[in-house]
Amino acid sequence: METLPTTILEFEKRFREEEDCVVYLRRVRWPNGFICPKCGHVECYELNLRLYQCTLCKKQTSVTAGTIFHKTHLPLAIWFRVIFSVAQDKGGASSSRIASQFGLPQKTAWLMLLKLRTAMADRNELTKLEGIIELDEAFINKEARKYQPEPGTETKILVMTEEEHDHAGKIYVQVLNAATCANIRDAVEFATVAEQKHFFKADGLHAHHELRRMGHGSDMKPAPGKMGVEKLPWMHTFVSLLRRFLVGTYHGVSPKLLQLYLDEFAFRANRRFGQTKIWQSLIRACAFTKPVTLAELK
């Protein structure tokens, strides 16, 4: 079994050439061999290292087609190094830093990072919470946002995190337009293991009682001030880390793109116990996420 790199020196040695990156991406995308995206046939002609033609329907498919790397003008070697840099930095990476580090235009680096966050968001959909779950709303204050629509406004988010004895488990974060019963129900159904009953800790907001109507167990006693921190310790810890992440690395983000930054935070937080393998998860996410254009991102 191949030992994959865990340090930057090992990474540089393993992915020294463009061919190394193409072969690795091909293995991630088709671990059991080529599968035609059009007809599902498994036999092909290898036209070159990147391009394959199905022997049945004759469709030609590039190893990057249908992935986040679709129609990219940058070498995969650059993409892989950016992915490694982003994955290994707990605080994330700004587009200005990536541009400076890799000699790229800032707009190119910005678009690359948005695409990577899209892949993270796509992968986050596979992560489901279960067991004892802390749930509450929080606010992203003006310091963590750019381009305030009105003075003093804040963005409301919903945070759910598993409580596992002496540490937190997985986390889910979502921009919340309003804390209504319908929104709480939709978020819980999306973020938790289906057809299982869970136990929620919340602060007793009216909409939180929807959890009981869904059949979940709950502790809904109001807990103002410091009592709230004691009742929902991991939820408050993550919110504090999230605010530092948004301000410290990005100096604030626009409300329109905030959800993608929340997805980046959750993707990294849910893999914090396997820090050296995050780059592998991110490449896999890129390989199975549909292409996205700048217009769609905006």
List the end-to-end C-alpha distance of the chain, in Å, as a whole number: 42
| Residue-level length of the chain | 298
- Residue 115 to residues 14, 108, 175, 185, 223: CA-CA distances in angstroms? 24, 11, 19, 29, 39
Topology annotation, domain 132-266: Nucleotidyltransferase; domain 5 (3.30.420)
- Sequence ranges of the domains in the chain: 8-31+64-125+276-297, 132-266
**Do residues 72 and 64 lie in contact, with contact meaning Cβ atoms separated by under 8 Å?**
yes
pLDDT tens per residue across span 22-48: 999 999 999 999 999 999 999 999 999
This prediction's pTM:
0.92
Q: What is the pLDDT of residues 164-209, one digit of tens each?
A: 888 899 999 999 988 899 999 999 999 999 999 999 999 878 889 8
What does the alpha-carbon distance between residue 289 and residue 125 come to, in Å, rounded to a whole number?
A: 12
